Structure 1
Amino acid sequence: MSKVRMKELHEIIDEVKDEKSFLDFAKALMKDREVHEGAPVDEVGFAGDWANNDISGFLESAIAWVEDSDFGVRQDAELKSNKWKQFAVFLYCGKIYE
C-alpha cells in the first residue's frame, strides 16, 4: 500500500489563483492549525511550526509582513496581479512571520 503525500502549505499557496484554490488553502491552513492546538509552546514561543498562537499575534505578524514587504510584491511580483494568492500569503505569514 502506498502512502499519499500531503502537500505542504507553501506548495498549496503556489497553486492559489482563484476562489476555489484560495478556499483549499484556507482549509489546509485551518487543518494545520488544528494539529497544533494545545501543543506545548517551546522556549521561543512556537507551538510546532506556528510562531503566533493567538489571533492578535497572528494578525500583528501578518500586518507586519504587509508593511515590511509591500504586501509581498517585493518578494513575489506575481502577488500584484494575483490577489487570491496575495491574501493566502498574508494568512500564511500570520502563522510564520515574527
Structure 2
Amino acid sequence: MKELHEIINEVKDEKSFLDFAKALIKDLQAHEGKSVDELGFSGDWVNKDISGFLESAVAWAEGSDFGVGQEPALQSNKWKQFAVFLYCGKIYE
C-alpha cells in the first residue's frame, strides 16, 4: 500500500483527489485511539478532532500562501492544493 505522501503527489483531478481522501480516512482510522508515543514516529495525526484539524489546515494555508510558497505548482493544480490543505490539517501544529 502506498504512503499518503506518495498518493498526494499523484493528485491531479477529481478521481485522484477522492483516492487521496479515502486514503486519509484509512490513515486516521489506523491511528484512532493511539498516542504519538505508542506509534513511535513523527507524521502522525497531531489534530484528531475536527476543530483542531481545520484550525491547523487554515493556519498552514495562511502561513504558506495556500502552499504556493512551498510548491509553486500548486497554483495550477487546485485538486492537489486542496489535498495538501487536508494533509496539513493532519500534521500542522
TM-score, length-normalised on structure 1? 0.86
The structure 1 segments of at least 4 consecutive aligned residues displaced by more than 3 Å after TM superposition are none
Distance 2:5 2:69 in 1: 18
Q: Which amino acid aligns with 2:91?
A: I
What is residue 39 of structure 1 aligned with on the other side? 34
The question of whether the paired residues in 1 share the 8 Å contact of 2:36 and 2:44 is answered with no
Q: Which amino acid aligns with 1:8?
A: E
Instruction: Name stretches of at least 5 consecutive residues in structure 2 with no aligned partner.
Output: 38-42
Q: How many residues end up aligned between the 2 structures?
A: 90
Give runs of aligned pairs for residues 1-98 of structure 1, distance below 5 A.
6-40=1-35, 42=37, 49-98=44-93
Q: CA RMSD in A?
A: 1.8
**Worse overlay, 32-41 or 11-20:** 32-41
Instruction: Name stretches of at least 5 consecutive residues in structure 1 with no aligned partner.
Output: 1-5, 43-47
Q: Which has the higher contact order (CA 8 A, sep 6+)?
A: 2
TM-score, length-normalised on structure 2? 0.90
Structure 1 residue 40, shift from structure 2 partner: 3.3
Distance 1:55 1:90 in 2: 14
Larger CA Rg, structure 1 vs 2: 1
